[in-house]
Amino acid sequence: MTYHMDKEVNSAIIRLLDALCEFERGSGRRSTLILIPHNKDEEILIAQDGKPLGDEVCAKKIKVELIVPLALRERA
């Protein structure tokens, strides 16, 4: 899985996603994580509950601009 062009940063992102997934599964809490690189040659990372949504977001044709409002609606 490649989420970042820097090998060390990519490893840290994978560890973060794993930790979020484990914590949220155990606690019942949820979150949305969004990493938006400023350079267009890098992919946007959207993860919900520690799971990347790349393919799901593309399949549903959800615009990235709508993700933040959708995530904020999930807040209790």
Dihedral angle of Cα 73, 40, 6, 45, to the nearest 10 degrees: 20
- CA neighbor of 48 nearest in space, from 74, 9, 15, 66: 74
Higher model confidence: residue 54 or residue 4? 4
45 has a pLDDT exceeding 80 = yes
Q: What are the structural domain ranges in the chain?
A: 7-73
**Could you tell me the pTM of the whole model?**
0.80
Dihedral angle of Cα 48, 58, 35, 10, to the nearest 10 degrees: 90
